[in-house]
């Protein structure tokens, strides 16, 4: 069976990319990162997802992007934007952008893929509901594909690794529908930037997630109830 490395954060997008690779008959090698993010709670979700999908291996690599800071996800002195309207999400680059994160994570994925003999690297990047991140755009992945060809042993030997971003042009609702069709256990995923015991319902990630499930017409199974009452997750336009 072909082998694939999947960048697995624990969120709904990376979970769908994981199950997309699984649906294509790939042997799964999941790769997650403890990079100093305030929402380390997502790593617990990543472990549960890797087990549920039957990954051959799941590695959690520790790197210190908090050493550089300049992001609300790695520096607690910077506030995570909350209660932004859906119209304002995507305008400009938000405080939750982690400098060069996807470039760094993909570089690690290249090394891991060469080590285990994988031919493809899956990433759950999304260019429509991308929250303004420059490393979630199609042109970035086209450029990184060239890096994979020029900068690896496989590439120079004529067997370049392929960067697969199957969700790149899907809306959040499209991701929910696709994930539901291929059996993604969305109840295991974690999206909230704030971490904690339960999602805040107010950060950009929570709002985009809520809109995706609402527009797909599917109940989010990760939204728990408190004393029998559904917990409200807002997605004001």
Q: Which pLDDT score, from 0 to 100, does residue 132 have? A: 73
Is residue 237, in this structure, part of any structural domain at all? no
User: What Rg value do the Cα atoms of the chain yield, rounded?
Assistant: 17
CATH number, domain containing residue 56 = 3.40.50.620
Per-residue model confidence as pLDDT tens digits over 9-28: 999 999 999 999 999 999 99
Is residue 82, in this structure, part of any structural domain at all? yes
Number of domains present in the structure of the chain: 1
Per-residue model confidence as pLDDT tens digits over 184-195: 999 999 999 998
Per-residue model confidence as pLDDT tens digits over 34-85: 999 999 999 999 999 999 999 999 999 999 999 999 999 999 999 999 988 8
Is residue 189, in this structure, part of any structural domain at all? yes
Is residue 69, in this structure, part of any structural domain at all? yes
Is residue 47, in this structure, part of any structural domain at all? yes
Is residue 235, in this structure, part of any structural domain at all? no
Is residue 29, in this structure, part of any structural domain at all? yes
Domain with 137, as residue range(s), is 3-230
Q: Which pLDDT score, from 0 to 100, does residue 91 have? A: 74
């Amino acid at each position: 069976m072909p082998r694939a490395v999947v960048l697995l954060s624990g969120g709904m997008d990376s979970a769908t990319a994981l199950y997309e690779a699984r649906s294509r008959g790939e042997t799964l090698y999941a790769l997650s990162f403890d990079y100093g993010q305030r929402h380390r709670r997502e790593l617990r979700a990543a472990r549960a997802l890797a087990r549920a999908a039957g990954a051959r291996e799941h590695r959690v690599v520790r790197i210190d992007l908090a050493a550089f800071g300049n992001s609300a996800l790695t520096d607690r002195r910077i506030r995570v934007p909350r209660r932004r309207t859906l119209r304002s999400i995507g305008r400009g680059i938000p405080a939750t952008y982690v400098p060069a994160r996807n470039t760094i994570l993909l570089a690690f994925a290249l090394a891991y893929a060469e080590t285990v003999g994988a031919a493809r690297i899956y990433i759950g990047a999304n260019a429509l509901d991308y929250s303004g991140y420059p490393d979630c755009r199609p042109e970035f992945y086209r450029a990184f594909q060239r890096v994979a060809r020029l900068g690896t042993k496989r590439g120079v030997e004529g067997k370049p690794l392929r960067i697969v971003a199957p969700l790149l042009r899907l809306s959040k609702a499209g991701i929910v529908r696709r994930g539901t069709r291929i059996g993604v256990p969305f109840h295991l995923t974690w999206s909230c930037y704030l971490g904690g015991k339960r999602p805040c319902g107010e950060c950009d990630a929570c709002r985009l997630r809520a809109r995706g499930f609402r527009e797909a017409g599917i109940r989010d199974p990760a939204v728990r109830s408190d004393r029998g009452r559904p917990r409200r997750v807002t997605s004001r336009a």
